[in-house]
Amino acid sequence: MTRLVILGKQGAGKGTQCALLVEHYGIPHISTGDMLRAAVAEGTPLGLQAKAVMDAGDLVSDELILGIVEERLAQPDAEAGFLLDGFPRTAAQADGLTELLAPGSIDLAVNIDVPDAVVTERMLGRGRADDTPEAIARRLELYAAETAPLLEYFGGQGRLVTVDGLGSEDDVQARIVDAIDDAR
Ligand code: ADP
């Protein structure tokens, strides 16, 4: 059973690292950002509701996010474990997750640590629709206000490791795998 939460700023490399971890541990990557972008691309009612919020760099409502995560975690492939990426992002989402799972059932939260200046540069370089300078600044502001407190939330439960997110993808991957295996 490997139930992991991957934390880190926008542009810290969560998506890249999760793709590598999926292969290493054989568990699904559950990215709320990817699920929302898929809904936008398909033009579903959820996508139509989320698009403007995402383009502005704001957070989609906790209620909506908790609904899509609950549905996704109920799929059979999540029984053996999962990698949550981009969720929880607020205290309300963390509480909602605890309610969905039995208390304490996240094994570990891994925080990929990268300075603001570096993530800003990386995001400007990848050029996603919501990677405008204004939206990036807004996302980092929301990260500091809403998501950074989750480090204390998981840390207080003794379920947090922080790894240095600078260096090659392989180096960061090795640090994360070591941290996860040490914790098990
Ligand atoms: P980034 O980490 O660069 O913000 P994501 O792909 O994780 O990229 O998310 C893209 C956008 O989707 C966010 O800016 C936000 O609008 C929305 N989003 C994703 N996950 C959540 C979440 N857990 N809660 C609220 N909004 C979310």
CATH of the domain at 177: 3.40.50.300
Q: What is the pLDDT of residue 134?
A: 94
Confirm whether 9 is domain-assigned.
Answer: yes
In a domain, 88, yes or no: yes
Neighbours of 23 (CB within 10 A): 8
CA 101 – ligand 1 centroid, Å:
22
Q: Output the pLDDT for position 184.
A: 81
Please say whether the beta carbons of 66 and 93 come within 8 A. yes
Decide whether any atom of ligand 1 lies within 6 Å of the 87 Cβ: yes
pLDDT (0 to 100) of residue 104? 61
Count of the separate structural domains present in the chain = 1
Residue 45 domain-assigned (yes or no): no
Strand 81-85's sheet: what is its strand order? Answer: 29-31, 81-85, 2-8, 108-113, 160-164
For ligand 1, whether the C-beta of 36 sits within 6 Å is yes
Q: Evaluate whether residue 90 is within a structural domain.
A: yes
The pLDDT of residue 1 is: 61
CA atoms of 155 and 172, how far apart (whole Å): 21
82-110: pLDDT as tens digits: 999 999 999 999 999 999 997 668 999 99
**pLDDT at residue 5, rounded to an integer:** 97
Segments in the chain below pLDDT 50: none
